[in-house]
Structure 1
Amino acid sequence: MESGTSSPQPPQSDPLDAFPQKGLEPGDIAVLVLYFLFVLAVGLWSTVKTKRDTVKGYFLAGGDMVWWPVGASLFASNVGSGHFIGLAGSGAATGISVSAYELNGLFSVLMLAWIFLPIYIAGQVTTMPEYLRKRFGGIRIPIILAVLYLFIYIFTKISVDMYAGAIFIQQSLHLDLYLAIVGLLAITAVYTVAGGLAAVIYTDALQTLIMLIGALTLMGYSFVAVGGMEGLKEKYFLALASNRSENSSCGLPREDAFHIFRDPLTSDLPWPGVLFGMSIPSLWYWCTDQVIVQRTLAAKNLSHAKAGALMAAYLKVLPLFIMVFPGMVSRILFPDQVACADPEICQKICSNPSGCSDIAYPKLVLELLPTGLRGLMMAVMVAALMSSLTSIFNSASTIFTMDLWNHLRPRASEKELMIVGRVFVLLLVLVSILWIPVVQASQGGQLFIYIQSISSYLQPPVAVVFIMGCFWKRTNEKGAFWGLISGLLLGLVRLVLDFIYVQPRCDQPDERPVLVKSIHYLYFSMILSTVTLITVSTVSWFTEPPSKEMVSHLTWFTRHDPVVQKEQAPPAAPLSLTLSQNGMPEASSSSSSVQFEMVQENMSKTHSCDMTPKQSKVVKAILWLCGIQEKGKEELPARAEAVIISLEENPLVKTLLDVNLIFCVSCAIFIWGYFA
């Protein structure tokens, strides 16, 4: 094609030539600044408007969110800047198969609202480890999961977003990386600390709107640039780097680039793994991950939660069109950079010898869009980054405060819990900043792949334990514990092997062990799920069954048990508190809700010890920022209340939601079939 005119240039070009020549102009900067001011205004408005001085108010937005901010927050929490960079980059490198993750998530978020959420509501839980504490008793499983969740949040989710944000900042602003990211984290932490979940959900709703406007605009520009879908299908296979070696297969577009279902043995995403192996981590993420479930629990009632999930499901159709296809367009328009195949040249272009497909989206934004729109898309990327980080900060803070700190200090006052939650957010910010050099030093081009593989190694055992707990009444604590341990140990072995034996570049021989080389991570997810399932079933069957209290209201088949039985347990809470402190796995069931039941004991302590007759204006301002006010003491009993009281739904609303569910699933199946 054009190789005759452009082939001599790349080897001699200055590395900066590979970066966008169009920087952000004053108009773009103005849009970006206005965006920041607008987001801070929304965050402060929600801070003033909502109740933040109780645990329910701060961590669950008071439980009064309507469906549309819940749906927007679900989508925004899921779609971070890692999606824009990672999905577009994978689209540029291998085609549309990566969109299977998004389409799979569509089904999973609906399963959350229609199947899992009614169980969580009936069980009156606010965190996922709390559900397991109620369902199985003891503290072993909740503490293992609380630590595991925090590990996954800090070292996978934050690292992906930090890396993706770093790429975009480097490509567009050419600012010092640490300065830019520290600034983003600071602004993010301010309204997360001050506003709690309400601020997070309201700003998520705003940022979802910004993301959709900007991304849809870029999609339009992209398709116009290549002549629509037909032009994309025709030109993608011709998008080769001019500096590619003629006798090498490196850098060639895949023949199955426009297919989601691919060869079960030789492809990058084998179709059995996509259908089954991908579904297990997807269920973990959408149905048992604190970040996601917390948003649906903040809804006014079950119908609003379902409607929010439906909204998120409809939006999950979009990433294929607004991220993956534009990534493929970027390869067509800038083949020498996005599709580079020579390790030395790739190193010069994007500091990654494995390839530069990850610069596909920022390259497209900065080269294709006019002034103003570039600033808008920069705002979109910043919105995605901040949205994901706020979600992680708030949810990780919830888990640490409610599941770990409460275990260490069962008699902690309301004020102490609120302060600990805020301080932990600041600690997460610090860890994020310290993690930046690790992200920089890692193989950036492989980071998105690494995250998916880490998900396949760590998440299936957790998902299986939740599924068994929700749908098999015979599952007990011993079965769940040993199933979880066996699955996590097996997954950790594969994870360590993956980091020791790194996947070689295209031009290098693959000398990895057969276990690592031949078993795709999605197939390993299936193996891991099977091992965990067998272990949980076997151990549970040959040990004593769980007590009736540990099953009532906590499985799909017992969610409608008479409420009277559930109301008998709380008076015994102070007696079971000591058992919980001793760490006995066979603690009585009432200890399962220790974090709410301890309120009665804390009330007298709070009233007697926490009163501060005289406070300076500075202290009062700090306490207001943290949502700690005198009136919070009067509202302490609100902690023990249900977030969503009832599973009852208006029959007409329920019918409308069910019809929408069928339509949404039908659309998803059509898309699967069309691109399969």
Structure 2
Amino acid sequence: MNLTGFICFWLFLALVASISFLKARKIRLNTTAAYFMGNRTLGFWMVGFSLFLTNLSCNQFVGENEFVYVNDMTVMAWGMSSILAMLVVAEFFLPIYLKMGAVTTPDYLGHRFGPRLKKLVSLIFLISYLVTLIPTILYGSAVALNGIFHIDEALGIPYFPAIWLLVVMVGVIGCCYTVIGGFKAITVSDLVQGAGLLAGGIALIWYSLRYLGGGDAVHGIQTILGSKKEHLNAIGSAQDPIPFSTLFTGMFLINLYYWGMEQYIMQQALAAKSLSQGQKGMSLAAVGKLISPLLLNVPGLIAVHLYPNITNTATVFPRLVGDVLPPVMTGFIAAIIFGAAISTFNAGLNSSGTLFIMNLYKPWRKEAKDRELVKAARIFQISICAVAMCFSPFIFYFDGGFYHYIQKISSFFSVPVFTVMIVGFLTKRVSEKAALIGLVFFIVTYTLSQFAIEVPMHYLHVVAILFVVTIVLILGISRWMPRHEPYSTPHLAVVDLKPWRHRHYFFFLLIVLMAGAFLLFSKAGIAD
């Protein structure tokens, strides 16, 4: 074990935790607004860093670099194309949520369609977080940390018990942030971790290029650009795992859902002190997506040249970190990766509590006061954390395609929910019955297309086709069973709704830079 790096790892975590709890101690966590939303006091720096860090997890550090090593840069499409989705959300979705004073994204469904759909979607979110989000974060964190510090070898125990030990460690630390510090402590830690991530990403690339170039970073760059250039291509063909055409079909829909309707993501923006601060924060997160390949993709490119015959490709990223960095920096990078995982874990745990208390428990216990709701939230969060820690290590026994599988099955519920919400945004007469039928239709037909009927088409294209078909179905049913009164968004805002004055100039610049990134990693750029 790298003892120096391990000590530095804990020192950095202790520093972040100290800053977070000191900054958050001024907020009394005896109300749901304080516990779940930090009293809606977030400025754009906290919103932006929280969104960016919440989006990152060890699964991405490990999985995306492995994808680049095995295939090419086409996996970059998920992050880059999300920039456009984030700008659409900032311009159109966020103002609607803030105008109605939403605490959860299903709140909109409750206002627009009715309580049944709101409860159903809340349950879907909770099941998704418990089955996929929280366990995979715990497992991915454990795999990455063991790959960097070799805990199994240091303690002289088998790999599986070491993973279980690390899963418990990650779960306990993350749960403490959420249950003791509340939403404010989470966002403060994201701000500190985000600054560290930027510095650490630049340092990792610098040391990696020097290592590849025999002490000369420029020579390392020349090595990457001079051979194995097929790995530099981000424009996928129809035969690639991620064809470029999917950017304009299912991938865009999933990104719109993720950044505009996924509760654990959107809650960061809903806690902004104003619409302007929320829009600035989302734009700042989009800047983070532009530079995220420094940690998520470029290390995989470097590993292609350093480890041409590696057998366990899942170890590409942790092996690179352990080989090229000095001990102190190894601990720093490990802490940053761990912090990104904790950020996503905390957001998932906090959002789970928000959904359960505000959309399920509170309607059942109408007379419950804030103290009871906060106490119930803490008990619920500790419970689901314990459950996730128990079965998370068994992900070890899934096939090697587990992470791709998780990404694929997310479409079972994400795009159906997105479809219903888009119909709600764009129409005034669609009824709750029509929306429920459309939601069930999408889920059932997509399930059949992936497991019962062989469809000779990429699953993201299937998602896009079903999106259109379901909208037509919902609109058709609504002509037969329309809403009695046209819907209008209630004005229940608790923050200033004045938009960011210069947002359109910044949005345009971000789109140009996004297109430039694709051009750079193409045959018209450095991949030729």
Structures share fold, TM-score greater than 0.5: yes
Partners of 1:110 and 1:99 in 2: CA distance: 18
How much has 1:495 moved relative to structure 2?
5.3
Q: Given that residues 107 and 665 in structure 1 are in contact (C-alpha distance below 8 angstroms), is that contact kept between their aligned partners in structure 2?
A: yes
Instruction: Give the structure 2 partner of residue 126 of structure 1.
Output: 103
Pair 1:282 & 2:251 matched: no
How much has 1:321 moved relative to structure 2?
2.9
Match of residue 463, structure 1, among 418, 427, 430: 418
Instruction: Give the structure 2 partner of residue 345 of structure 1.
Output: none
Instruction: Give the structure 1 partner of residue 150 of structure 2.
Output: 174
Deviation string, structure 1 residues 289-324 (Cα, Å, up to 9, x no partner): 111211111111011111101100011011223321
Match of residue 134, structure 2, among 158, 161, 168: 158
How much has 1:546 moved relative to structure 2?
4.8
How much has 1:142 moved relative to structure 2?
1.1
Pair 1:475 & 2:461 matched: no
Distance of aligned partners of 1:197 and 1:494 in 2 relative to their CA distance in 1, 3 Å threshold: farther
How much has 1:496 moved relative to structure 2?
5.0
Partners of 2:301 and 2:436 in 1: CA distance: 45
Unaligned runs of 5+ in 2: 152-161, 214-218, 523-528
Partners of 1:258 and 1:534 in 2: CA distance: 40
Partners of 2:451 and 2:371 in 1: CA distance: 41
Give the partner amino acid of 2:410. Answer: S
Partners of 2:473 and 2:79 in 1: CA distance: 30
Give the partner amino acid of 1:294. Answer: Q
Give the partner amino acid of 1:168. Answer: A
Partners of 2:514 and 2:148 in 1: CA distance: 35
Deviation string, structure 1 residues 123-178 (Cα, Å, up to 9, x no partner): 221111111001112x2211211111112212222233223212212223333222
Normalization by structure 2: what TM-score? Answer: 0.91
Partners of 2:199 and 2:381 in 1: CA distance: 30
How much has 1:520 moved relative to structure 2?
1.7
Deviation string, structure 1 residues 257-311 (Cα, Å, up to 9, x no partner): 33323223x2211222222110111111000011121111111101111110110
Pair 1:334 & 2:334 matched: no
Q: Given that residues 457 and 495 in structure 1 are in contact (C-alpha distance below 8 angstroms), is that contact kept between their aligned partners in structure 2?
A: no
Q: Given that residues 143 and 163 in structure 2 are in contact (C-alpha distance below 8 angstroms), is that contact kept between their aligned partners in structure 1?
A: no
Partners of 1:643 and 1:336 in 2: CA distance: 58
Pair 1:75 & 2:52 matched: yes
Give the partner amino acid of 1:164. Answer: G
Match of residue 437, structure 1, among 380, 385, 393: 393
Partners of 2:419 and 2:105 in 1: CA distance: 14
Q: Given that residues 178 and 350 in structure 2 are in contact (C-alpha distance below 8 angstroms), is that contact kept between their aligned partners in structure 1?
A: yes
Alignment of 1:550-561 (within 5 A): 551-553=487-489
Distance of aligned partners of 1:434 and 1:492 in 2 relative to their CA distance in 1, 3 Å threshold: farther
Give the partner amino acid of 1:235. Answer: S
Distance of aligned partners of 1:553 and 1:483 in 2 relative to their CA distance in 1, 3 Å threshold: same
Give the partner amino acid of 2:90. Answer: A
Instruction: Give the structure 1 partner of residue 508 of structure 2.
Output: 662
How much has 1:223 moved relative to structure 2?
2.8
Deviation string, structure 1 residues 108-135 (Cα, Å, up to 9, x no partner): 1222211100011112211111110011
Instruction: Give the structure 1 partner of residue 232 of structure 2.
Output: 258
Secondary structure at the counterpart of residue 278 of structure 1: helix
Q: Given that residues 72 and 311 in structure 1 are in contact (C-alpha distance below 8 angstroms), is that contact kept between their aligned partners in structure 2?
A: yes
Secondary structure at the counterpart of residue 290 of structure 2: coil
Partners of 2:430 and 2:393 in 1: CA distance: 44
How much has 1:371 moved relative to structure 2?
1.4
Match of residue 61, structure 1, among 34, 38, 44: 38
Alignment of 1:365-376 (within 5 A): 365-376=321-332
Q: Given that residues 297 and 643 in structure 1 are in contact (C-alpha distance below 8 angstroms), is that contact kept between their aligned partners in structure 2?
A: no
Pair 1:454 & 2:409 matched: yes
Pair 1:109 & 2:65 matched: no
Instruction: Give the structure 2 partner of residue 537 of structure 1.
Output: 475
Q: Given that residues 93 and 260 in structure 2 are in contact (C-alpha distance below 8 angstroms), is that contact kept between their aligned partners in structure 1?
A: yes
Secondary structure at the counterpart of residue 142 of structure 1: helix
Q: Given that residues 70 and 299 in structure 1 are in contact (C-alpha distance below 8 angstroms), is that contact kept between their aligned partners in structure 2?
A: yes
Instruction: Give the structure 2 partner of residue 29 of structure 1.
Output: 6
Alignment of 1:340-489 (within 5 A): 340=311, 356-443=312-399, 445-489=400-444
Give the partner amino acid of 2:134. Answer: I
Alignment of 1:281-320 (within 5 A): 281-320=254-293
Q: Given that residues 169 and 177 in structure 1 are in contact (C-alpha distance below 8 angstroms), is that contact kept between their aligned partners in structure 2?
A: no
Instruction: Give the structure 1 partner of residue 158 of structure 2.
Output: none
Q: Given that residues 42 and 271 in structure 2 are in contact (C-alpha distance below 8 angstroms), is that contact kept between their aligned partners in structure 1?
A: yes
Distance of aligned partners of 1:495 and 1:422 in 2 relative to their CA distance in 1, 3 Å threshold: farther
Partners of 1:321 and 1:180 in 2: CA distance: 26
Give the partner amino acid of 2:233. Answer: H
Q: Given that residues 65 and 296 in structure 2 are in contact (C-alpha distance below 8 angstroms), is that contact kept between their aligned partners in structure 1?
A: yes
Q: Which moved more, 1:477-486 or 1:151-160?
A: 151-160
Report which structure shows greater RCO (CA 8 Å, sep ≥6): 2
Partners of 1:400 and 1:495 in 2: CA distance: 30
How much has 1:235 moved relative to structure 2?
3.4
How much has 1:675 moved relative to structure 2?
2.9
Instruction: Give the structure 2 partner of residue 602 of structure 1.
Output: none
How much has 1:30 moved relative to structure 2?
2.2
Partners of 1:51 and 1:675 in 2: CA distance: 49
Secondary structure at the counterpart of residue 412 of structure 1: coil
Alignment length (residue pairs)? 506
Deviation string, structure 1 residues 58-109 (Cα, Å, up to 9, x no partner): 1111011111011000000001111111111111111100010001111112
Pair 1:99 & 2:35 matched: no
Distance of aligned partners of 1:546 and 1:201 in 2 relative to their CA distance in 1, 3 Å threshold: farther
Give the partner amino acid of 1:471. Answer: L
Instruction: Give the structure 2 partner of residue 502 of structure 1.
Output: none
Give the partner amino acid of 2:2. Answer: L
Instruction: Give the structure 1 partner of residue 156 of structure 2.
Output: none
Partners of 1:539 and 1:359 in 2: CA distance: 51
Alignment of 1:165-244 (within 5 A): 165-175=141-151, 176-224=162-210, 225-226=212-213, 227-236=219-228
Q: Given that residues 428 and 488 in structure 2 are in contact (C-alpha distance below 8 angstroms), is that contact kept between their aligned partners in structure 1?
A: no
Partners of 1:300 and 1:292 in 2: CA distance: 16
Partners of 2:300 and 2:440 in 1: CA distance: 40
Secondary structure at the counterpart of residue 300 of structure 1: coil
Instruction: Give the structure 2 partner of residue 52 of structure 1.
Output: 29
Q: Given that residues 167 and 393 in structure 2 are in contact (C-alpha distance below 8 angstroms), is that contact kept between their aligned partners in structure 1?
A: no
Larger radius of gyration, structure 1 or 2?
1
How much has 1:669 moved relative to structure 2?
2.0
Deviation string, structure 1 residues 479-526 (Cα, Å, up to 9, x no partner): 2111111111223334555xxxxxxxxxxxxxxx733xx332212211
Partners of 1:323 and 1:544 in 2: CA distance: 47
How much has 1:673 moved relative to structure 2?
3.2
How much has 1:531 moved relative to structure 2?
2.7
Q: Which moved more, 1:194-203 or 1:221-230?
A: 221-230
More helix, by proportion: 2
Normalization by structure 1: what TM-score? Answer: 0.72
Percent identity over the alignment is 27
Deviation string, structure 1 residues 384-412 (Cα, Å, up to 9, x no partner): 11111001000111001111112332222
How much has 1:357 moved relative to structure 2?
2.1
Partners of 1:496 and 1:428 in 2: CA distance: 29
Give the partner amino acid of 2:228. Answer: Y
